[in-house]
A and B are shown apart, each in its own frame.
Chain A
Amino acid sequence: MRFKTACLVLAALTAAVGSNAIAGQRNGNASASRTHAIPPPSIAHTTFYIVVNKFGRRIRGSAGTASSQSSDGTGTFIATFPVDVTNCVYVATLARSTTDGGSNEKPGFISAVRTFDNTNGVYVETLGTGGMDRNRPFHLLVAC
């Protein structure tokens, strides 16, 4: 957890405890508990996928998927799926979204986490090589 994130959470909680004014993954849902129990195997496992451009637009993907840029700003996106993804696995890759290809995608960093306020959502953050937030296209697999 980055320090600035922790500071933002603390500051937001101090300023607005009990209100709904706190929005955004980085501010987070500080009261959310983390699940550490391994869920029992489900009967049917499957994989969803979505391809998102640097503006947050869904280019293609599994039926029922959608995406948008997060209100957190540059380099933050939300992808949603037709099922509860709380107990799923999210693997995100920096990759161009164009169907007709293009030049190589630049290096950078990417991470994923479930959104704090939507059990069907995955929050993706993309950064440049210097660690600064940058809008970058990505491909995301979600295994449930």
Chain B
Amino acid sequence: MKNTALLSIVFAAAVVPMAAFAGTISGFVVAGSDGKVIRGTGYQVTHFATGQYEIDTIPDVHSCAYSVTAGSGDTTVPAPAIATAVGRRENHTAVMVATYGLDKQYADAGFHLIVQCAGTTPGGAAVVDPDGTLVRGVFANSATRTGTGAYTVTFANSVLASTCAYTAGIGLSGTLGVSDPGFVNVASGGGGTIVVRTYDTHGNATDLGFHVYAACAL
């Protein structure tokens, strides 16, 4: 795929500090909207068309699960966006990520992708209610609602925000009913804190409960 697009730019994780996790095939990457790798476990990212990215993972990852959320790798809070994933056809060492804007059309967006191939200890995880209450978590210290649809979650790992990938999904903390649908995006809050933003289906900031997962050393 990356060789078919003349204007494609390949950003190799080798040019940025990357964690060494030999012996496992799980991994992650955080990429900017231009496909530039911000951090990760050695994956390469090719931005080959608007809102479309190929992630070359080296090991075969088509037996794995892909968790992806639109977001930034730094403290820039991104516009509402949706990210989806699929393994690349006939290439089991690649995952395709597609990002969509408010109009549900392809649109460039940064993303956090976690490839989970085995049981691993999460870097952190949390369940947060719409009012910002931290209901439960793994290595999660606190959560705060900072505004409508705006939250921070702080984990025990004091460098989590700058060294890990984090994905989030809309969800309730209890067992009653289901959540309203909406967008959820992530960004760094610095230190051990990440930023989560939730929006309704029209892109308006709205308080929604969410679950967030961080991968730091897969």
CB-nearest residue of chain B relative to A48?
B119
Is B211 part of the contact surface with A, judged by Cβ < 8 Å? yes
Within 8 A of B (CB), among A83-105: 87-96, 98-105
B213 and A89 contacting across the interface, CB-CB below 8 Å: yes
Of A2, A104, A110, A112, which contacts B180 at CB under 8 A?
Answer: A2
Report chain B residues within 8 Å CB of A19.
none
| Nearest chain A residue, comparing its CB with the CB of B120 | A47
On whether A89 and B176 interact (CB within 8 A), knowing A61-B65, A109-B201, the answer reads: no
Are the CB atoms of A89 and B125 closer together than 8 Å? yes
Size category, A interface: 35 or more
A107 lies within 8 A of chain B by Cβ? yes
- By beta carbon, the residue of chain B nearest A50 is B65
Cα A99 to Cα B69 in complex, Å, equals: 21
Nearest CB of B to A41, in Å: 8
CB distance from B67 to the nearest CB of A (A): 5
Q: Please determine whether A38 and B213 come into contact, CB atoms closer than 8 angstroms.
A: no
Q: Which B residues from 147 to 165 make CB contacts under 8 A with A?
A: none
Cβ-based interface call for B66 (8 A): yes
B175 close to A105 (CB less than 8 A): no
Q: 18 pairs across A/B with beta carbons < 8 Å?
A: A26-B177, A60-B63, A61-B65, A90-B171, A90-B211, A93-B85, A99-B63, A102-B86, A105-B86, A107-B104, A109-B170, A109-B181, A109-B201, A112-B169, A114-B175, A141-B114, A141-B213, A143-B125
